[in-house]
Chain A
Amino acid sequence: MHRLTVPIADDEIRALHAGDTVYLNGVIVTGRDAAHKFMKEHFIQVEEVTAVDEPLYAELKRLLDGSVIYHCGPVVQKLEDGTWKFVAAGPTTSIREEVYQADVIKHFNLKGVIGKGGMGKNTLRACQEQPAVYFHAIGGAASLIAQSVKQVVTVHKLEFGVPEAMWVIEVEDFPVVVTMDSHGVSIHDTIEAQSKAKLAELIGV
Protein backbone atom coordinates (compact mmCIF):
# COMPACT_ATOMS: atom_id res chain seq x y z
CA MET A 1 0.00 0.00 0.00
CA HIS A 2 1.31 3.44 -0.97
CA ARG A 3 0.28 6.87 0.27
CA LEU A 4 1.16 9.68 -2.12
CA THR A 5 0.76 13.44 -1.93
CA VAL A 6 0.85 15.77 -4.93
CA PRO A 7 3.12 17.02 -6.36
CA ILE A 8 4.34 13.46 -6.89
CA ALA A 9 8.04 12.88 -7.63
CA ASP A 10 9.27 10.79 -10.57
CA ASP A 11 10.90 8.16 -8.35
CA GLU A 12 7.62 7.72 -6.46
CA ILE A 13 5.90 6.99 -9.78
CA ARG A 14 8.63 4.59 -10.92
CA ALA A 15 8.23 2.69 -7.63
CA LEU A 16 4.58 1.92 -8.49
CA HIS A 17 3.60 -1.29 -10.27
CA ALA A 18 0.36 -2.48 -11.82
CA GLY A 19 -1.79 -3.95 -9.06
CA ASP A 20 -0.60 -1.59 -6.31
CA THR A 21 -3.18 0.11 -4.11
CA VAL A 22 -2.53 3.82 -3.59
CA TYR A 23 -4.10 6.48 -1.38
CA LEU A 24 -3.87 9.90 -3.01
CA ASN A 25 -3.70 13.21 -1.17
CA GLY A 26 -3.62 16.86 -2.16
CA VAL A 27 -5.14 19.13 -4.79
CA ILE A 28 -6.24 17.50 -8.05
CA VAL A 29 -8.44 18.65 -10.93
CA THR A 30 -11.38 16.91 -12.60
CA GLY A 31 -11.55 16.88 -16.38
CA ARG A 32 -13.48 14.78 -18.84
CA ASP A 33 -14.60 15.02 -22.46
CA ALA A 34 -15.21 18.76 -22.87
CA ALA A 35 -12.21 19.71 -20.72
CA HIS A 36 -9.78 17.50 -22.67
CA LYS A 37 -11.05 18.78 -26.01
CA PHE A 38 -10.75 22.34 -24.71
CA MET A 39 -7.21 21.87 -23.38
CA LYS A 40 -6.06 20.36 -26.65
CA GLU A 41 -7.66 23.02 -28.83
CA HIS A 42 -6.94 26.08 -26.70
CA PHE A 43 -3.64 25.30 -24.95
CA ILE A 44 -1.77 22.54 -26.74
CA GLN A 45 -2.51 22.79 -30.46
CA VAL A 46 -2.07 26.57 -30.66
CA GLU A 47 1.01 28.62 -31.34
CA GLU A 48 -0.02 31.14 -28.74
CA VAL A 49 -2.65 30.98 -26.03
CA THR A 50 -5.15 33.83 -26.41
CA ALA A 51 -5.35 36.61 -23.84
CA VAL A 52 -8.81 35.39 -22.83
CA ASP A 53 -7.54 31.88 -22.08
CA GLU A 54 -4.24 32.94 -20.52
CA PRO A 55 -5.34 33.26 -16.84
CA LEU A 56 -6.87 29.75 -16.80
CA TYR A 57 -3.84 28.37 -18.66
CA ALA A 58 -1.44 29.76 -16.07
CA GLU A 59 -3.63 28.47 -13.26
CA LEU A 60 -3.86 24.95 -14.72
CA LYS A 61 -0.11 24.80 -15.40
CA ARG A 62 0.48 25.59 -11.75
CA LEU A 63 -2.15 23.18 -10.42
CA LEU A 64 -1.40 20.23 -12.69
CA ASP A 65 2.41 20.32 -12.47
CA GLY A 66 3.20 17.00 -10.74
CA SER A 67 -0.48 16.36 -10.01
CA VAL A 68 -3.21 14.25 -11.62
CA ILE A 69 -6.39 14.76 -13.61
CA TYR A 70 -9.48 12.90 -12.46
CA HIS A 71 -11.94 11.68 -15.12
CA CYS A 72 -15.07 12.50 -13.18
CA GLY A 73 -18.38 14.29 -13.63
CA PRO A 74 -19.58 14.73 -10.06
CA VAL A 75 -22.92 15.39 -8.42
CA VAL A 76 -22.36 18.62 -6.48
CA GLN A 77 -24.43 20.69 -4.13
CA LYS A 78 -24.15 24.46 -3.76
CA LEU A 79 -24.29 25.33 -0.08
CA GLU A 80 -25.94 28.43 1.34
CA ASP A 81 -22.61 30.20 1.86
CA GLY A 82 -21.89 29.87 -1.88
CA THR A 83 -19.34 27.07 -1.55
CA TRP A 84 -19.68 23.68 -3.23
CA LYS A 85 -19.83 20.19 -1.85
CA PHE A 86 -19.17 16.92 -3.70
CA VAL A 87 -22.10 14.56 -3.10
CA ALA A 88 -21.19 11.73 -5.46
CA ALA A 89 -17.95 11.55 -7.39
CA GLY A 90 -16.94 8.22 -8.93
CA PRO A 91 -14.80 7.91 -12.07
CA THR A 92 -16.10 8.07 -15.64
CA THR A 93 -14.90 5.86 -18.52
CA SER A 94 -11.40 6.98 -19.50
CA ILE A 95 -10.99 5.56 -22.98
CA ARG A 96 -12.88 8.49 -24.50
CA GLU A 97 -9.90 10.71 -23.62
CA GLU A 98 -7.39 8.41 -25.33
CA VAL A 99 -7.01 10.77 -28.30
CA TYR A 100 -6.06 13.64 -25.97
CA GLN A 101 -4.45 12.06 -22.93
CA ALA A 102 -0.82 11.60 -24.00
CA ASP A 103 -0.57 15.24 -25.10
CA VAL A 104 -2.21 16.50 -21.91
CA ILE A 105 0.07 14.38 -19.72
CA LYS A 106 3.20 15.73 -21.43
CA HIS A 107 2.08 19.33 -21.75
CA PHE A 108 1.08 19.79 -18.12
CA ASN A 109 3.66 17.41 -16.57
CA LEU A 110 0.96 15.17 -15.10
CA LYS A 111 2.09 12.27 -12.91
CA GLY A 112 -1.08 10.34 -13.49
CA VAL A 113 -4.71 10.23 -14.43
CA ILE A 114 -7.54 8.70 -12.43
CA GLY A 115 -10.45 7.07 -14.18
CA LYS A 116 -12.00 3.73 -14.92
CA GLY A 117 -11.83 1.07 -17.61
CA GLY A 118 -8.19 1.72 -18.55
CA MET A 119 -6.68 3.46 -21.56
CA GLY A 120 -4.88 2.60 -24.79
CA LYS A 121 -1.42 2.35 -26.27
CA ASN A 122 -0.71 6.08 -26.63
CA THR A 123 -1.43 6.74 -22.97
CA LEU A 124 0.58 3.70 -21.87
CA ARG A 125 3.55 4.96 -23.88
CA ALA A 126 3.18 8.46 -22.43
CA CYS A 127 3.15 6.90 -18.95
CA GLN A 128 6.47 5.19 -19.70
CA GLU A 129 8.09 8.32 -21.07
CA GLN A 130 6.76 10.84 -18.56
CA PRO A 131 6.77 8.92 -16.12
CA ALA A 132 3.14 8.70 -15.06
CA VAL A 133 0.61 6.02 -14.12
CA TYR A 134 -3.04 5.26 -14.66
CA PHE A 135 -4.94 5.07 -11.39
CA HIS A 136 -8.18 3.07 -11.48
CA ALA A 137 -10.91 4.17 -9.07
CA ILE A 138 -13.88 1.90 -8.32
CA GLY A 139 -16.57 2.74 -10.86
CA GLY A 140 -19.87 3.60 -9.24
CA ALA A 141 -18.47 3.93 -5.73
CA ALA A 142 -19.49 7.55 -5.88
CA SER A 143 -20.83 8.25 -2.41
CA LEU A 144 -17.78 6.60 -0.85
CA ILE A 145 -15.26 8.49 -3.00
CA ALA A 146 -17.06 11.79 -2.33
CA GLN A 147 -16.15 11.29 1.33
CA SER A 148 -12.47 11.60 0.47
CA VAL A 149 -13.06 14.99 -1.17
CA LYS A 150 -12.33 17.30 1.73
CA GLN A 151 -12.79 20.59 -0.03
CA VAL A 152 -13.89 22.03 -3.34
CA VAL A 153 -11.24 24.71 -3.87
CA THR A 154 -12.79 26.27 -6.97
CA VAL A 155 -14.36 25.44 -10.32
CA HIS A 156 -13.33 26.40 -13.86
CA LYS A 157 -15.35 26.22 -17.07
CA LEU A 158 -18.66 25.77 -15.28
CA GLU A 159 -20.23 26.81 -18.58
CA PHE A 160 -19.47 23.25 -19.76
CA GLY A 161 -22.10 22.10 -17.25
CA VAL A 162 -21.59 20.53 -13.82
CA PRO A 163 -20.34 17.12 -15.04
CA GLU A 164 -17.92 18.58 -17.60
CA ALA A 165 -16.56 21.49 -15.57
CA MET A 166 -13.02 21.42 -14.16
CA TRP A 167 -13.38 21.10 -10.41
CA VAL A 168 -10.31 21.83 -8.30
CA ILE A 169 -10.59 19.58 -5.26
CA GLU A 170 -8.53 18.64 -2.26
CA VAL A 171 -8.62 14.91 -1.57
CA GLU A 172 -7.57 12.87 1.42
CA ASP A 173 -6.71 9.18 1.06
CA PHE A 174 -8.54 8.78 -2.23
CA PRO A 175 -8.36 4.98 -2.83
CA VAL A 176 -7.15 3.87 -6.27
CA VAL A 177 -5.43 0.89 -7.90
CA VAL A 178 -2.56 1.27 -10.38
CA THR A 179 -3.68 -0.63 -13.49
CA MET A 180 -1.19 0.88 -15.97
CA ASP A 181 2.28 1.60 -14.65
CA SER A 182 5.30 3.50 -15.97
CA HIS A 183 7.05 0.25 -16.92
CA GLY A 184 4.70 -0.57 -19.78
CA VAL A 185 2.47 -3.00 -17.88
CA SER A 186 -1.31 -2.74 -18.27
CA ILE A 187 -3.62 -5.03 -16.30
CA HIS A 188 -6.27 -4.24 -18.91
CA ASP A 189 -4.17 -5.75 -21.70
CA THR A 190 -3.45 -8.85 -19.63
CA ILE A 191 -7.09 -9.47 -18.71
CA GLU A 192 -8.28 -8.80 -22.25
CA ALA A 193 -5.83 -11.34 -23.69
CA GLN A 194 -6.94 -13.93 -21.13
CA SER A 195 -10.63 -13.37 -21.79
CA LYS A 196 -10.03 -13.49 -25.54
CA ALA A 197 -8.38 -16.90 -25.22
CA LYS A 198 -11.26 -18.15 -23.08
CA LEU A 199 -13.82 -16.76 -25.56
CA ALA A 200 -12.06 -18.61 -28.38
CA GLU A 201 -12.30 -21.78 -26.33
CA LEU A 202 -16.03 -21.27 -25.66
CA ILE A 203 -17.16 -20.39 -29.18
CA GLY A 204 -14.38 -21.85 -31.29
CA VAL A 205 -13.34 -18.84 -33.31
Chain B
Amino acid sequence: MVNLKTMDLTDAFVELIRRAATDLPSDMEQAIAKAKDREEAGSAAASTLETILKNVDLARKNATPICQDTGTPIFEVRYPLGVSTRALAEQIRQAAAVATERAYLRPNAVDSLTGANSGDNTGIDFPTMHFHEWEEEHIQIDLLLKGGGCENVSTQYKLPDGGLKAGRDLEGVRRVVLDAVHQAQGKGCAPAVLGIAIGGDRGSSYIKSKEQLLRKLDDTNPDENLADLEERLYEESNELGIGPMGFGGKTSVLGVKIGAQHRLPASYFVSVAYMCWANRRARMNVSLTGDEAEVSYA
Protein backbone atom coordinates (compact mmCIF):
# COMPACT_ATOMS: atom_id res chain seq x y z
CA MET B 1 0.00 0.00 0.00
CA VAL B 2 1.30 3.44 -0.93
CA ASN B 3 2.29 5.69 1.98
CA LEU B 4 -0.40 8.32 1.59
CA LYS B 5 1.35 10.74 3.93
CA THR B 6 4.47 11.04 1.77
CA MET B 7 2.86 10.56 -1.65
CA ASP B 8 3.82 13.39 -4.03
CA LEU B 9 1.95 13.60 -7.34
CA THR B 10 3.21 17.05 -8.38
CA ASP B 11 5.13 15.78 -11.44
CA ALA B 12 2.18 13.65 -12.49
CA PHE B 13 -0.09 16.70 -12.29
CA VAL B 14 2.33 18.68 -14.48
CA GLU B 15 2.11 15.92 -17.07
CA LEU B 16 -1.70 15.90 -16.80
CA ILE B 17 -1.71 19.66 -17.49
CA ARG B 18 0.68 19.23 -20.42
CA ARG B 19 -1.59 16.62 -21.95
CA ALA B 20 -4.72 18.70 -21.50
CA ALA B 21 -3.19 21.89 -22.89
CA THR B 22 -1.36 20.44 -25.87
CA ASP B 23 -3.16 17.25 -26.91
CA LEU B 24 -6.82 17.47 -27.94
CA PRO B 25 -8.79 14.31 -27.02
CA SER B 26 -9.15 11.95 -29.99
CA ASP B 27 -12.98 12.00 -29.95
CA MET B 28 -12.89 15.80 -30.33
CA GLU B 29 -10.38 15.62 -33.16
CA GLN B 30 -12.41 12.97 -34.98
CA ALA B 31 -15.59 15.02 -34.63
CA ILE B 32 -13.85 18.06 -36.14
CA ALA B 33 -12.48 15.95 -39.01
CA LYS B 34 -15.96 14.56 -39.73
CA ALA B 35 -17.43 18.05 -39.60
CA LYS B 36 -14.83 19.26 -42.09
CA ASP B 37 -15.93 16.60 -44.58
CA ARG B 38 -19.57 17.65 -44.19
CA GLU B 39 -18.84 21.30 -45.02
CA GLU B 40 -18.79 22.46 -48.61
CA ALA B 41 -15.31 22.10 -50.12
CA GLY B 42 -13.57 25.48 -50.43
CA SER B 43 -15.96 27.21 -48.00
CA ALA B 44 -14.75 29.38 -45.12
CA ALA B 45 -16.21 26.74 -42.79
CA ALA B 46 -14.19 23.93 -44.36
CA SER B 47 -10.93 25.89 -44.45
CA THR B 48 -11.42 26.99 -40.84
CA LEU B 49 -11.85 23.41 -39.66
CA GLU B 50 -8.85 22.39 -41.73
CA THR B 51 -6.75 25.11 -40.05
CA ILE B 52 -7.98 23.92 -36.66
CA LEU B 53 -6.94 20.34 -37.43
CA LYS B 54 -3.50 21.49 -38.58
CA ASN B 55 -3.13 23.46 -35.38
CA VAL B 56 -4.15 20.47 -33.23
CA ASP B 57 -1.56 18.35 -34.98
CA LEU B 58 1.16 20.96 -34.58
CA ALA B 59 0.39 21.55 -30.90
CA ARG B 60 0.63 17.83 -30.19
CA LYS B 61 3.93 17.43 -32.08
CA ASN B 62 5.58 20.45 -30.45
CA ALA B 63 3.96 20.12 -27.01
CA THR B 64 2.76 23.73 -27.30
CA PRO B 65 -0.67 24.93 -26.18
CA ILE B 66 -3.51 24.27 -28.65
CA CYS B 67 -4.90 27.70 -27.71
CA GLN B 68 -3.04 30.56 -26.04
CA ASP B 69 -5.93 30.94 -23.64
CA THR B 70 -5.20 27.90 -21.53
CA GLY B 71 -8.29 28.76 -19.53
CA THR B 72 -9.35 28.09 -15.99
CA PRO B 73 -7.84 24.77 -14.91
CA ILE B 74 -10.71 22.83 -13.31
CA PHE B 75 -9.74 19.69 -11.40
CA GLU B 76 -12.38 17.11 -10.45
CA VAL B 77 -10.70 14.77 -8.01
CA ARG B 78 -12.19 11.46 -6.86
CA TYR B 79 -10.31 9.82 -4.01
CA PRO B 80 -10.65 6.94 -1.55
CA LEU B 81 -10.79 7.28 2.22
CA GLY B 82 -7.42 8.21 3.73
CA VAL B 83 -6.11 10.51 0.99
CA SER B 84 -5.32 14.04 2.13
CA THR B 85 -7.16 16.46 -0.14
CA ARG B 86 -5.19 19.29 1.44
CA ALA B 87 -1.92 17.73 0.26
CA LEU B 88 -3.34 17.07 -3.22
CA ALA B 89 -4.56 20.65 -3.47
CA GLU B 90 -1.11 21.98 -2.64
CA GLN B 91 0.50 19.65 -5.18
CA ILE B 92 -1.97 20.77 -7.86
CA ARG B 93 -1.11 24.41 -7.15
CA GLN B 94 2.60 23.67 -7.39
CA ALA B 95 2.05 21.77 -10.63
CA ALA B 96 0.14 24.73 -12.10
CA ALA B 97 3.12 26.98 -11.36
CA VAL B 98 5.59 24.53 -12.93
CA ALA B 99 3.38 24.08 -16.00
CA THR B 100 3.25 27.87 -16.39
CA GLU B 101 7.04 28.09 -16.23
CA ARG B 102 7.25 25.46 -18.97
CA ALA B 103 4.78 27.47 -21.12
CA TYR B 104 2.15 24.71 -21.12
CA LEU B 105 -0.09 27.29 -19.45
CA ARG B 106 -0.35 31.03 -19.94
CA PRO B 107 -0.23 32.99 -16.68
CA ASN B 108 -3.98 33.33 -16.28
CA ALA B 109 -4.73 34.24 -12.67
CA VAL B 110 -5.49 37.94 -12.27
CA ASP B 111 -6.18 39.70 -8.95
CA SER B 112 -9.71 41.07 -9.43
CA LEU B 113 -9.04 44.10 -7.22
CA THR B 114 -5.58 45.22 -8.35
CA GLY B 115 -5.46 43.75 -11.85
CA ALA B 116 -2.09 42.15 -11.06
CA ASN B 117 -1.38 38.81 -12.71
CA SER B 118 0.07 36.34 -10.20
CA GLY B 119 2.27 35.01 -13.00
CA ASP B 120 1.99 31.34 -12.08
CA ASN B 121 -1.70 30.38 -12.34
CA THR B 122 -2.24 30.32 -8.61
CA GLY B 123 -4.40 32.71 -6.62
CA ILE B 124 -7.55 32.93 -4.55
CA ASP B 125 -9.64 29.87 -5.48
CA PHE B 126 -7.37 29.36 -8.49
CA PRO B 127 -7.01 26.75 -9.95
CA THR B 128 -10.54 25.45 -9.40
CA MET B 129 -10.66 22.12 -7.55
CA HIS B 130 -13.53 19.89 -6.46
CA PHE B 131 -12.92 16.85 -4.28
CA HIS B 132 -15.28 13.90 -4.05
CA GLU B 133 -14.64 10.88 -1.85
CA TRP B 134 -15.65 7.64 -3.53
CA GLU B 135 -15.68 3.90 -2.87
CA GLU B 136 -13.03 2.96 -5.44
CA GLU B 137 -9.48 2.26 -4.24
CA HIS B 138 -7.70 4.52 -6.73
CA ILE B 139 -7.61 8.27 -7.30
CA GLN B 140 -9.09 9.64 -10.51
CA ILE B 141 -8.46 13.19 -11.63
CA ASP B 142 -10.24 14.87 -14.52
CA LEU B 143 -8.83 18.16 -15.75
CA LEU B 144 -10.76 20.58 -17.91
CA LEU B 145 -9.10 23.72 -19.30
CA LYS B 146 -12.04 26.08 -19.75
CA GLY B 147 -11.27 29.02 -22.03
CA GLY B 148 -12.36 32.56 -21.22
CA GLY B 149 -13.90 33.52 -24.56
CA CYS B 150 -16.35 30.64 -24.42
CA GLU B 151 -16.92 31.15 -20.68
CA ASN B 152 -18.10 34.67 -21.46
CA VAL B 153 -20.87 33.35 -23.71
CA SER B 154 -21.87 30.64 -21.25
CA THR B 155 -25.16 31.57 -19.65
CA GLN B 156 -27.97 30.68 -17.28
CA TYR B 157 -31.74 30.91 -17.77
CA LYS B 158 -34.46 31.08 -15.16
CA LEU B 159 -37.62 29.39 -16.36
CA PRO B 160 -40.30 30.27 -17.21
CA ASP B 161 -38.93 32.71 -19.79
CA GLY B 162 -41.78 34.65 -21.38
CA GLY B 163 -39.80 36.07 -24.29
CA LEU B 164 -38.74 32.60 -25.44
CA LYS B 165 -42.05 30.98 -24.48
CA ALA B 166 -40.01 28.56 -22.40
CA GLY B 167 -41.91 26.78 -19.64
CA ARG B 168 -40.62 24.50 -16.91
CA ASP B 169 -40.22 21.37 -18.99
CA LEU B 170 -37.84 19.85 -21.52
CA GLU B 171 -39.42 21.85 -24.33
CA GLY B 172 -38.55 24.98 -22.34
CA VAL B 173 -34.99 23.71 -21.96
CA ARG B 174 -34.79 23.15 -25.72
CA ARG B 175 -35.92 26.70 -26.41
CA VAL B 176 -33.44 28.44 -24.13
CA VAL B 177 -30.51 26.30 -25.28
CA LEU B 178 -31.18 27.18 -28.92
CA ASP B 179 -31.36 30.82 -27.89
CA ALA B 180 -27.98 30.48 -26.12
CA VAL B 181 -26.38 29.04 -29.26
CA HIS B 182 -27.84 31.87 -31.35
CA GLN B 183 -26.71 34.53 -28.86
CA ALA B 184 -23.17 33.12 -28.78
CA GLN B 185 -22.79 33.22 -32.58
CA GLY B 186 -19.08 32.57 -33.27
CA LYS B 187 -17.83 34.49 -30.25
CA GLY B 188 -17.12 31.42 -28.13
CA CYS B 189 -15.02 29.82 -30.90
CA ALA B 190 -17.63 27.61 -32.52
CA PRO B 191 -18.08 24.76 -33.17
CA ALA B 192 -18.90 24.19 -29.53
CA VAL B 193 -19.61 21.43 -27.10
CA LEU B 194 -22.60 22.36 -24.95
CA GLY B 195 -22.67 21.22 -21.32
CA ILE B 196 -26.16 21.74 -19.98
CA ALA B 197 -27.57 21.39 -16.48
CA ILE B 198 -31.24 21.46 -15.55
CA GLY B 199 -32.24 22.36 -11.99
CA GLY B 200 -30.07 22.89 -8.90
CA ASP B 201 -29.35 26.32 -7.48
CA ARG B 202 -27.49 28.89 -9.54
CA GLY B 203 -24.09 27.74 -8.27
CA SER B 204 -24.56 23.96 -8.35
CA SER B 205 -26.21 24.25 -11.76
CA TYR B 206 -23.20 25.96 -13.32
CA ILE B 207 -20.85 23.36 -11.83
CA LYS B 208 -23.04 20.53 -13.12
CA SER B 209 -23.09 22.06 -16.61
CA LYS B 210 -19.28 22.12 -16.73
CA GLU B 211 -19.09 18.51 -15.52
CA GLN B 212 -21.01 17.49 -18.67
CA LEU B 213 -18.05 18.71 -20.75
CA LEU B 214 -15.96 15.88 -19.33
CA ARG B 215 -18.17 13.30 -21.03
CA LYS B 216 -16.95 11.65 -24.22
CA LEU B 217 -18.80 12.84 -27.32
CA ASP B 218 -19.98 9.34 -28.22
CA ASP B 219 -21.32 8.32 -24.79
CA THR B 220 -25.03 7.74 -24.27
CA ASN B 221 -27.05 9.55 -21.67
CA PRO B 222 -28.59 6.92 -19.33
CA ASP B 223 -31.80 8.98 -19.21
CA GLU B 224 -33.71 8.32 -22.40
CA ASN B 225 -35.48 11.68 -22.44
CA LEU B 226 -32.21 13.54 -22.01
CA ALA B 227 -30.54 11.37 -24.64
CA ASP B 228 -33.27 12.32 -27.10
CA LEU B 229 -32.99 15.99 -26.22
CA GLU B 230 -29.19 15.89 -26.67
CA GLU B 231 -29.66 14.47 -30.16
CA ARG B 232 -32.36 16.96 -31.10
CA LEU B 233 -30.41 19.96 -29.82
CA TYR B 234 -27.33 18.80 -31.71
CA GLU B 235 -29.30 18.69 -34.97
CA GLU B 236 -31.18 21.92 -34.41
CA SER B 237 -28.16 23.92 -33.21
CA ASN B 238 -26.43 23.02 -36.44
CA GLU B 239 -29.46 24.13 -38.44
CA LEU B 240 -28.87 27.67 -37.15
CA GLY B 241 -26.09 27.98 -39.74
CA ILE B 242 -23.63 29.87 -37.52
CA GLY B 243 -20.75 27.64 -38.52
CA PRO B 244 -17.10 27.50 -37.44
CA MET B 245 -16.00 30.89 -36.00
CA GLY B 246 -19.41 32.23 -36.98
CA PHE B 247 -18.41 32.35 -40.67
CA GLY B 248 -21.55 30.39 -41.60
CA GLY B 249 -21.80 26.65 -42.23
CA LYS B 250 -23.28 23.38 -41.10
CA THR B 251 -21.22 22.93 -37.93
CA SER B 252 -22.13 25.13 -34.98
CA VAL B 253 -21.86 22.44 -32.30
CA LEU B 254 -19.96 19.17 -32.07
CA GLY B 255 -21.85 17.72 -29.15
CA VAL B 256 -24.58 18.37 -26.57
CA LYS B 257 -24.47 16.81 -23.08
CA ILE B 258 -27.21 17.29 -20.49
CA GLY B 259 -27.42 16.52 -16.79
CA ALA B 260 -30.20 17.15 -14.28
CA GLN B 261 -30.35 17.97 -10.57
CA HIS B 262 -33.12 18.29 -8.02
CA ARG B 263 -34.26 21.86 -7.54
CA LEU B 264 -36.35 23.99 -5.21
CA PRO B 265 -40.05 24.20 -6.02
CA ALA B 266 -39.49 27.91 -6.61
CA SER B 267 -36.57 27.63 -9.05
CA TYR B 268 -35.94 26.12 -12.46
CA PHE B 269 -32.49 26.98 -13.79
CA VAL B 270 -30.97 25.91 -17.07
CA SER B 271 -27.21 26.48 -17.27
CA VAL B 272 -25.37 26.33 -20.57
CA ALA B 273 -21.61 25.80 -20.38
CA TYR B 274 -20.43 26.76 -23.84
CA MET B 275 -17.10 25.11 -24.62
CA CYS B 276 -15.01 26.10 -27.63
CA TRP B 277 -13.90 23.46 -30.15
CA ALA B 278 -10.72 23.16 -28.05
CA ASN B 279 -12.51 21.07 -25.42
CA ARG B 280 -9.35 20.29 -23.51
CA ARG B 281 -9.91 17.51 -21.04
CA ALA B 282 -7.55 14.87 -19.71
CA ARG B 283 -7.82 12.11 -17.12
CA MET B 284 -5.27 10.63 -14.77
CA ASN B 285 -5.64 7.54 -12.61
CA VAL B 286 -3.45 6.77 -9.61
CA SER B 287 -3.36 3.22 -8.35
CA LEU B 288 -2.55 3.00 -4.64
CA THR B 289 -2.40 -0.76 -4.13
CA GLY B 290 1.34 -1.25 -4.90
CA ASP B 291 4.33 0.11 -2.96
CA GLU B 292 4.54 3.13 -5.24
CA ALA B 293 1.71 5.25 -6.62
CA GLU B 294 1.19 4.10 -10.19
CA VAL B 295 0.03 6.82 -12.55
CA SER B 296 -1.72 6.28 -15.86
CA TYR B 297 -3.39 8.70 -18.27
CA ALA B 298 -6.50 8.27 -20.39
A residues within 8 Å of B by Cβ? Answer: 19, 21, 34, 72-77, 87-90, 92-93, 95, 116-118, 136, 138-147, 160-164, 175, 177, 179, 187-188, 190-192, 194-196, 198-199, 202-205
Q: Are B68 and A191 in contact (CB under 8 A)?
A: no
Q: Are A90 and B68 in contact (CB under 8 A)?
A: yes
Contacts of B245 in A (CB 8 A): 116, 136, 138-139
Flag if B242 contacts A116 (CB, 8 Å). Answer: no
Q: Say whether chain A's binding surface is mostly helix, strand, loop, or mixed.
A: mixed
A75 & B106 in contact (Cβ 8 Å cutoff): yes
A-B contact count (CB 8 A): 173
Looking at the complex, which one of B69, B147, B149, B182 makes contact with A117 (CB distance below 8 Å)? B149
Interface size, chain B (Cβ < 8 Å)? 56
| Set of chain B residues within 8 Å of A92, measured between Cβ atoms | 69, 148-149
Please name 21 pairs of A and B residues whose Cβ atoms are closer than 8 Å in the assembled complex, sorted by A: A76-B103, A77-B103, A88-B66, A89-B68, A116-B186, A139-B67, A139-B245, A139-B276, A142-B67, A143-B55, A146-B68, A161-B116, A162-B117, A188-B186, A188-B246, A191-B242, A194-B248, A195-B241, A195-B242, A198-B239, A203-B165
A139 touches B149 (CB 8 A): yes
Q: Is B48 an interface residue (CB 8 A)?
A: yes
Chain B residue nearest in CB terms to A19: B44
> Which of chain B's residues has its CB closest to A194's CB?
B241
Complex A-B, nearest 5 residue pairs according to Cβ-Cβ distance, in ascending order: A161-B117, A117-B187, A139-B189, A88-B68, A144-B55
Contact call B164/A161, Cβ cutoff below 8 A: no
Which of B56-64, B131-139, B199-207, B266-274 is found at the contact surface with chain A?
A: B56-64
B165, A198: Cβ atoms closer than 8 Å = no
- In the complex, the answer to whether B240 meets A90 with C-beta atoms within 8 Å is no
Taken together as a complex, chains A and B put the C-alpha atoms of A142 and B261 apart, in Å, by: 37
Q: Given the complex, which residues of A lie within 8 Å of B110, measured CB to CB?
A: 161
